[in-house]
Amino acid sequence: MTILTRPEATRDRQNNRVVDWSDAERTTYRARVQFLSSTETEQQGDQVITDLEVFLPPEAVVTAVDQAEVDGVTYRVHGKPQVQRGAGPIAQLDHMRIVLREVTG
């Protein structure tokens, strides 16, 4: 899994600030990814929202404004990453938990 951070802010033709993720810094981590949910709405055109739950090493550098690539699909980090720390014999289970969201349509 690859985390995309620090995208470059540029201006479009109308001088609006836009974020360019094509040159974002990329960091690859080993991760466990599991499917959380997928919902579809048909109110103003079809829209599908897919959420994944990802477990990363606790030292991973991820913020709520980053993006991630999983199997060639780009997701946004949804919410604040959570670092879970174990104590005593379960200290080796330390990890970071993030939720990724893709919205299509």
Distance set, CA 16 to CA 11, 22, 66, 67 (Å): 5, 18, 20, 21
Domain span at residue 44? 31-104
Model confidence over 40-97: pLDDT tens digits? 988 778 899 999 999 999 999 999 999 999 999 999 999 999 998 877 776 667 899 9
Inside any domain, residue 5: no
Q: Report how many domains make up the chain.
A: 1
Inside any domain, residue 81: yes
Q: Which of 72, 67, 59, 60 is nearest to 99 (CA)?
A: 67
Average pLDDT over residues 13-41: 93
Inside any domain, residue 74: yes
pTM equals 0.84
Residue 41 near residue 15, CB atoms below 8 Å: no
